[in-house]
Structure 1
Amino acid sequence: MSCEVERVFIGAGCNRIVNNVSWGASDLVAFGAHNAVAIFCPKKAQIVTTLPGHKASVNCTLWLPSTKFAYKVQQLEQHYLLSGDADGAIMLWEFSLIDGKWRYVLTVPQPHKKGVTCISGIMLSANEAVFASTSSDGTVNIWEIILPMTVGALCSAASSVSLLFDLGECRLSCIESLSVGSKMMVALALAELLGNTGHIVLAMGGLDNKIHLYCGERTGKFFRACELKGHSDWIRSLDFSLPMVANGTRNSLLLVSSSQDKTIRIWKMVLREPSDERKDVIGLASYIEGPVLCAGPSSYQISLESLLIGHEDWVYSVQWKPPSVASADGKEYIQPQSILSASMDKTMMIWQPERTTGIWMNVVTVGELSHCALGFYGGHWGPNGDAILAHGYGGSFHLWRNVGLDSENWQPQKVPSGHHSVVSDIAWARSGKFLLSVSHDQGDQNSWHEIARPQVHGHDINCVAIIQGKGNHRFVCGADEKVARVFEAPLSFLKTLNCAVSQESEVQEDNQMDVQILGANMSALGLSQKPIYVHAVQEVSQRPRSEGIDTLETVPEAVPVMLTEPPIEEQLAWHTLWPESHKLYGHGNELFSLCCDHEGKLVASSCKAQTVSVAEIWLWEVGSWKAVGRLQSHSLTVTQMAFSHDDSLLLSVSRDRHFSVFSIKRKGANEICYDLLARQEAHKRIIWACSWNPFGHEFATGSRDKTLKVWAVENEHSVKQLLALPPLSSSVTGLAWLGVDRQTNRGLLAVGMENGLIELWNLSRSKTEDGGSAVLTANLVSRLDPFMCHASTVQRLAWRNSERVEDCQKVQLASCGADNCVRVFEVNVVVA
């Protein structure tokens, strides 16, 4: 057997931190997703890849070149990306525009002692850049990097450049390391000074409410030049414009700053001629002029250009609109007087000066309506200035594009979505038409394009199981509370799903006729989701508007509708909830594991435990939701459970290093009989995962001891070990057994590990040389490329329609991990 694996989907949310997102001149967006760097394409609204390598959560990213310098590098074939993490490490990646491939280049040799909080940089030429990084360790490091050039570009460059580096290699040198004291800096901006080639100005702001300006040369030390005072709270963002044109010459530079004091300030730096002297005439400008910045023979008068007030909460991000090219050779550009700001008040604003008075005004406001009380961590311009992107508290992206011809018309666009915390469990729908994932970010999501967000919970969600229900869609989930909750698909979701898979839909209209619940509405406290009935929506639509006033105990009513295209973030947050139908009480601690039998009639649940009585497994009858069994065997938390494919056996594995096999029999309609068949210590460490053979009563177990073993239930009363794989490279945390050939009992076992890697093993029976009974053998079929895999622990693996693939060669494997990602792989199985 051989396998070819292709990654077809990645779902991930953005880390909840400022400076985490960067939109590059390549028109790709980079962001941190746990300890991976994720790359998504705004045009496709898809995450195209993730870059593994960081050992800690990624805090910030920076493209070289960024959108600001897109005009300089129109012919560049390689673009570069910097990423900094919570351990202080900064990594450099190379992206080839020709073949779309990524390459790890280097790790900056002098890491910060604590987490990197901001990276800012400028392109001095097509292959030369300077970037600065700041950290909570109280230091700011400034680096010069010389990037490799193509042979064509090298021939047209100055001959001296070719002596600076070897073709195909990057050269990195540290210019300066500044100590800023106990009040750390969290915002940086770099710019080249006017009329003074070789001098660079560095602006930094942070906890002392001041903007500090440093000047220096690429070959010399940076010195403190001056301070800008005015903000009354932390400085959160800084950005220099490119030189502005006045009277036909570029003699001024603008710096925009934002703060937690809810204001935005624009500072103007004007190049002073040597003959300039302060005049005795007192004018308005003399009252707002700030300090003079001196750099070599030149000096610059700094003044406060404007104070922008409009946001109602902290302004986390400000950014100048990227320049537009004004000449064919790309050397001339126009710097638009337009600023994008993003705030925790859930809005982004575009500011521009009024033509007649020059007063800066808010000309565009866009925002988000969601259950979340917090807003945007950053806003970014697209390379052409016709799109703006925000990332928010919930790890979500919000994209607006200007689609107007004669006037501005900003409309929301589709973006990729995903969880912003550990994805703890996944489950395929019975029909295989959609995938459900749950996460510690307290939300449920569906993929490939996210079409619904059934639940927004107040606790970390640990486990999920899809069960039989109206329209074949119902699920139960468990969180960091002692209650399991049951949710049912509303009519709006059934119609949306029917539209999404219309060509091969298994959702019949008959199943929808009896569903009277259109959707769900979040309560004021955000703990339960109340149903919205079809007739109630009709009554609301006929009610006078004056009667629809919200009270302090309600939130605005969501009115779910059928969606004909992938929903945007606001629709996901408000209009795709599923109503909660039941609560299952009984467990003494937080829910940890759930599973459902294949007939959809029985659900098993377990919770975190340290004693035998608390570690018992509860059985629930679907429909009546009565507790019909309490199985005792383990002494610590049951980490995973699974029903055999004929539903006659229940397998459980635990932190106590044992597995247990229970027989499950039904007597009558409402009576369940169960018995413990076997309990055995299987591994030397915690057992994290288990999976049944779809064709029989064999099962696999995987443990923290880096071993994987295969067992068989014999004569319905004992368990025998069939096989132990050689020790793997890391702890086994996820298993999924796919049946390939029933006659030969051949299967494909997917193995997920703590290091994020995934392997595929062929399990088959072969006869011995003496003609004895067949022996189970295992062969490694495929070890997935690390760039395709997770960057952290694989939490769960699941095959799509694993019980009906005997005649199929192409199957799909879903995985979820601690790197906040959900991934779907297409596996082409070739049976030899």
Structure 2
Amino acid sequence: MACNFISVGGNRHPAAADWDHESDLLAFGADNNIALWNPLDPLFRGVHRLLSGHTEVVNVVKFFPTGKKNFSILLSGGIDKTIRIWCSDTQSPANFREEKVISDHSSAINTIAVYSERSLFISGSADATVKVWQLNHLSPGHQSSADQSSVECNVELLQTIDIQPRFLPLALAISKVPGSSSAILAVAGTRSLIQIYVSAGDVFKFSASLTGHEGWIRSLSFVQESTDIGTDILLASASQDKFVRLWRLHQGEELPIASSAAGDPALGALGKSLSNKAHRFETQGLRYSLTFEALLLGHEDWIYSAGWCPQAEKPQLLTASADNSLAIWEPDPHSGIWICTSRLGEISAQKGATTATGSTGGFWAGLWSPKGDIVVSIGRTGSWRLWKSIGEQGDWRPGVSISGHIKRVQDLAWSRDGSFLLSTGSDQTTRLFAEWIHDDIRSWHEFSRPQIHGYDLNCIDTTSSTQFISGADEKLLRVFDEPKAVASLLGRACGVENSTNGLSLEAANIPVLGLSNKAVEIVGERPLDPLINGDADGRQAEDPASVVYKSTLDFDHAPLEDHLSRHMLWPETEKLYGHGYEISTVAASQNGDLVATACKASSEDHAVIRLYETKDWREVKPALRAHSLTVTSLAFSSDDRFILSTGRDRKWTIFERSSDNAFEYGQITCDPKGHSRMILAGNWAPAEFGYIFVTAGRDKFIKIWSLDISEEPKTTCKATISATSPVTAVQFHQSLLSQDDPAVALAYGTEEGKIGIHKVTENFEVSELVQISPGLLPSKAINQVRWRPGQQEQEGHTVHTHLAVASDDCSVRLYTFINIWSTFNQNRCQRV
């Protein structure tokens, strides 16, 4: 068993990501977890692990240099007021475990800086304090203890700095003072000043206050100007005033050559805020000065991060801004003036557009690769973007990256043939995941973002392999048809055999301030000089969101974020009205002719089940009445003869199809006390198993029922499975484990994130089939579990079975079981 795919979006915080220059791992905060990803992986495996420990959102992630390729230390801080120390396993450097939790701060942790030369790290918190810590550690294998896999990790608090005047620290940076053994610490945050502290022994003392910025300062970064001994240190500060300032730390009584920025007439009124005032301090008998060096202009919105290239021959600075761009800055070799040599991201013509038309709402962080030839950035949608430097000229080209939901994932649905997976959630998006097949390499990616919405999305199901329906908090349901653009890409990149011949719609877009995806045609090549602001003839500028060019869709790799947010939408074909409150659940019949829906309710009048036939999308009346509170799940039996409903009123109900009308159903049986608390999920067993169904509830029980229709409809509870917490999702696999020994697999998820997989025989004997290790489980409640339709035969008799899981921790996970059924017969229970 393996969890071979995890999709999750990153947290929107400038300090919530770091790229380790020793192990090549990139770690980033993903809700309350820490995601580990290797952007240099040639197999494009994406996120391979989520570290669970924090109880609230992770704000900051920072690697602590160890000087070893096979051993890493990771520091993290979050809204839960804790700092956590994670150490890797030398046998598998990509696997980390939590070694220590520090709870000395009284508010959220916003920033961490590390100083490996003296084994220090510094934390800044919303309690307006900065704490200096000594980290002493021994890597595994260098201890006298018997457990060579454990890590000795001791932390000592050396100093607490109460910031005066009081502000909340958002950025920290620390560096060695050239020519001495002292360290210099820069602190900034919710004021427009930078405080400088210099170490004297084990204590940092205030030395200077740098002024000039006119907004909050979000990022600080030190770099040595060159590799020569005694070279000056540069400090970059990025601010919400849209500017980056560079400061020079120089040794000696004489000041460095003064910057001409203050007298530059091109800066206009800005010149008044530029000052070459020297801030002097002394340490270990040596004199130093801190002076303003340069002002970097070019961004049009807040600047969230600034970071120096680790391997550049001359200083190179990467900045990320809310204006949807990254900028790379370096000094001109002749004049020394700092200039922007490369700009990556969105074009300015699209600034202010909605997410659906291509805007990401800004870049929150920019990171360099260990060699400086790749940069990555994360934006408002939680997706990562990647650019590679190509050729001697340093041209930057976009590359395949990762993406995922940034809020809880509410529901999942496989296409009818199992070729792709759909997910939907509270970040108001629907995402399509499929397996990219290239050069004998297989990797899962987001291949389409069919729906970008204005309301939280609660439920989804597929009516065919080219159509799905989703329900949201807006009280209606929307139907979407697959466009040729997406079908063609899935055919080229994923080997999906769906033909585009039967599809009438080519592509889709969403108007600004709109909620409905509109069908559009794919046009020819992009003109050489497109209108941006109109021309003398009075023609209007072309809206980049309203046009899809053929060349834009001519690729055979996993889509980039630009493609997903702008060109991979599905056109909306129908809206279904009728419910009075937020849609809670939706289910399509097995033959796709009928859809059943329900909404949130606190009375019988609203706790009705509405049926819609999918040919003309007309409601089948009257609505089905049985529940008094919200219906939590709906499921059609394998032959569509019955509908199972479960509700918060602790009741499950079965409706039977009329013999006269295939679209009419009527109640035949129910159990008003099926569980002692609300029932949260229900599902039918496969056809070969008969009319068997399962219900699961907040009472921590899963009950398997048999429906007898030989005379009067009668149900009997045949088996009960006990869980350790409320059960929130449940589903039978729709294939038998073995024809010789009829049995079926049952998967369920709980409120605490546990996944259970059991075997149920035809005699209703229940036994555990697989135990999934805690490190592979979600950290929050599971909202849905979905077996992939059918089984895949690969390499002879090897059978791959997939289970998709959606969770409140913002993750979509795909578990792969290899020969799980034969493994069960041999080993009775497999632990993974």
Normalising by the smaller structure, the TM-score range is 0.7 to 0.9
Which of 106, 116, 120 is equivalent to 2:113? 120
RCO higher in structure (CA 8 A, sep ≥6): 1
Task: Output one character per residue of 1:752-788: Cα deviation in whole Å (capped at 9) or x when no partner.
Answer: 11121212111124xxxxxxxx4x2211222211221
- The whole-number CA distance in structure 2 between the counterparts of 1:293 and 1:634 is 75
Amino acid in structure 2 at the alignment position of 1:35: N
Q: Flag the 1:92–1:167 CA change in 2: closer, same or farther, 3 A.
A: closer
Partner of 1:253: 233
Amino acid in structure 2 at the alignment position of 1:658: K
- The whole-number CA distance in structure 2 between the counterparts of 1:666 and 1:586 is 26
In 2, are the aligned partners of 1:194 and 1:243 still within 8 Å (CA)? no
Partner of 1:811: 801
Partner of 2:514: 526
- The whole-number CA distance in structure 1 between the counterparts of 2:583 and 2:162 is 48
Partner of 2:47: 47
Task: Output one character per residue of 1:510-565: Cα deviation in whole Å (capped at 9) or x when no partner.
Answer: xx22423110011111311110135xx35998999679965698844233635411
Q: How does 1:170-181 map to 2 (within 5 A)?
A: 170-180=153-163
Partner of 2:420: 434
Partner of 1:701: 695
In 2, are the aligned partners of 1:52 and 1:786 still within 8 Å (CA)? no
Partner of 1:769: none
Partner of 2:612: 620
Which of 20, 27, 45 is equivalent to 1:24? 20
Task: Output one character per residue of 1:568-602: Cα deviation in whole Å (capped at 9) or x when no partner.
Answer: 11011111110000000111011111111111111
Task: Output one character per residue of 1:640-696: Cα deviation in whole Å (capped at 9) or x when no partner.
Answer: 111111111111111222111111236357x52433422422223222222211122
Which of 387, 392, 395 is equivalent to 1:400? 387
In 1, are the aligned partners of 2:747 and 2:757 still within 8 Å (CA)? yes
Which of 469, 480, 484 is equivalent to 1:476? 469
Q: Flag the 1:282–1:810 CA change in 2: closer, same or farther, 3 A.
A: closer
Partner of 1:783: 771
Task: Output one character per residue of 1:218-254: Cα deviation in whole Å (capped at 9) or x when no partner.
Answer: x633222110000000011001113645xx5424111
Amino acid in structure 1 at the alignment position of 2:761: S
Residue 97 of structure 1 deviates from its aligned partner by 5.8
Partner of 2:563: 571
Amino acid in structure 2 at the alignment position of 1:34: D
Q: Flag the 1:539–1:91 CA change in 2: closer, same or farther, 3 A.
A: closer
Task: Output one character per residue of 1:29-84: Cα deviation in whole Å (capped at 9) or x when no partner.
Answer: 1111111111111123411111112211211111122xxxxxx82x4420111111
Residue 735 of structure 1 deviates from its aligned partner by 1.1
Residue 296 of structure 1 deviates from its aligned partner by 3.9
Aligned to 1:177, the other structure's residue is in SS state strand
Aligned to 1:517, the other structure's residue is in SS state coil
Which of 567, 574, 588 is equivalent to 1:596? 588
Partner of 1:494: 487
In 2, are the aligned partners of 1:35 and 1:792 still within 8 Å (CA)? no
Which of 748, 757, 765 is equivalent to 2:754? 757
Give aligned-pair identity as a percent. Answer: 32
- The whole-number CA distance in structure 1 between the counterparts of 2:489 and 2:544 is 27
Which of 346, 365, 371 is equivalent to 2:358? 371
Aligned to 1:84, the other structure's residue is in SS state strand
Aligned to 2:486, the other structure's residue is in SS state helix
- The whole-number CA distance in structure 1 between the counterparts of 2:584 and 2:692 is 24
- The whole-number CA distance in structure 2 between the counterparts of 1:633 and 1:372 is 46
In 1, are the aligned partners of 2:385 and 2:402 still within 8 Å (CA)? no
In 2, are the aligned partners of 1:517 and 1:531 still within 8 Å (CA)? yes
Q: Flag the 1:277–1:436 CA change in 2: closer, same or farther, 3 A.
A: closer
Q: How does 1:409-558 map to 2 (within 5 A)?
A: 409-447=395-433, 448-468=444-464, 472-502=465-495, 505-508=496-499, 512-533=500-521, 537=523, 555-558=545-548
Amino acid in structure 2 at the alignment position of 1:703: G
- The whole-number CA distance in structure 2 between the counterparts of 1:337 and 1:544 is 37
In 2, are the aligned partners of 1:678 and 1:717 still within 8 Å (CA)? no
Q: Flag the 1:625–1:284 CA change in 2: closer, same or farther, 3 A.
A: closer
Q: How does 1:817-832 map to 2 (within 5 A)?
A: 817-828=807-818, 829-831=820-822, 832=825
TM-score, normalised by the number of residues in structure 1: 0.87
Q: How does 1:57-72 map to 2 (within 5 A)?
A: 57-65=57-65
- Whether 1:710 and 2:692 are equivalent positions in the alignment is no
Residue 277 of structure 1 deviates from its aligned partner by 7.0
Aligned to 2:565, the other structure's residue is in SS state helix
Structure 2 runs not aligned, ≥5 long: 263-273, 348-356, 434-443, 826-832
Residue 299 of structure 1 deviates from its aligned partner by 2.9
In 2, are the aligned partners of 1:475 and 1:486 still within 8 Å (CA)? yes
Q: Flag the 1:238–1:283 CA change in 2: closer, same or farther, 3 A.
A: closer
- The whole-number CA distance in structure 2 between the counterparts of 1:803 and 1:618 is 33
Partner of 2:334: 356
Amino acid in structure 2 at the alignment position of 1:408: G
In 1, are the aligned partners of 2:791 and 2:800 still within 8 Å (CA)? no
Task: Output one character per residue of 1:591-634: Cα deviation in whole Å (capped at 9) or x when no partner.
Answer: 11111111111111111111111111111101210011411111
Q: How does 1:63-462 map to 2 (within 5 A)?
A: 63-65=63-65, 73=67, 75-96=68-89, 98-124=91-117, 129-149=119-139, 168-180=151-163, 182-197=166-181, 199-217=182-200, 220-242=202-224, 244=226, 249-272=229-252, 276=253, 288-323=276-311, 336-368=314-346, 370-372=357-359, 374-404=361-391, 406-447=392-433, 448-462=444-458
Amino acid in structure 2 at the alignment position of 1:736: Q
- Whether 1:689 and 2:676 are equivalent positions in the alignment is no
Residue 729 of structure 1 deviates from its aligned partner by 2.0
Aligned to 1:204, the other structure's residue is in SS state strand
Partner of 1:723: 719
The alignment of Structure 1 onto Structure 2 pairs a total of residues equal to: 768
Amino acid in structure 1 at the alignment position of 2:821: V
- The whole-number CA distance in structure 1 between the counterparts of 2:737 and 2:411 is 24
In 1, are the aligned partners of 2:696 and 2:728 still within 8 Å (CA)? yes
Q: Flag the 1:827–1:290 CA change in 2: closer, same or farther, 3 A.
A: same
In 2, are the aligned partners of 1:228 and 1:290 still within 8 Å (CA)? no
Q: Flag the 1:541–1:602 CA change in 2: closer, same or farther, 3 A.
A: farther
In 1, are the aligned partners of 2:9 and 2:404 still within 8 Å (CA)? yes
Aligned to 1:496, the other structure's residue is in SS state helix
- Whether 1:660 and 2:660 are equivalent positions in the alignment is no
- Whether 1:647 and 2:640 are equivalent positions in the alignment is yes
- The whole-number CA distance in structure 2 between the counterparts of 1:135 and 1:735 is 41
Residue 7 of structure 1 deviates from its aligned partner by 1.4
TM-score, normalised by the number of residues in structure 2: 0.87
Q: Flag the 1:814–1:549 CA change in 2: closer, same or farther, 3 A.
A: farther
Aligned to 1:498, the other structure's residue is in SS state helix
Q: Flag the 1:584–1:201 CA change in 2: closer, same or farther, 3 A.
A: same
Q: Flag the 1:646–1:189 CA change in 2: closer, same or farther, 3 A.
A: same
- The whole-number CA distance in structure 1 between the counterparts of 2:700 and 2:543 is 52
Aligned to 2:448, the other structure's residue is in SS state coil
- The whole-number CA distance in structure 1 between the counterparts of 2:92 and 2:50 is 16
- Name the stretch that deviates more: 23-32 or 671-680: 671-680
Q: Flag the 1:758–1:319 CA change in 2: closer, same or farther, 3 A.
A: same
- The whole-number CA distance in structure 2 between the counterparts of 1:678 and 1:804 is 37
- The whole-number CA distance in structure 1 between the counterparts of 2:811 and 2:656 is 35
Aligned to 1:667, the other structure's residue is in SS state coil
- Name the stretch that deviates more: 165-174 or 704-713: 165-174
- Whether 1:792 and 2:772 are equivalent positions in the alignment is no
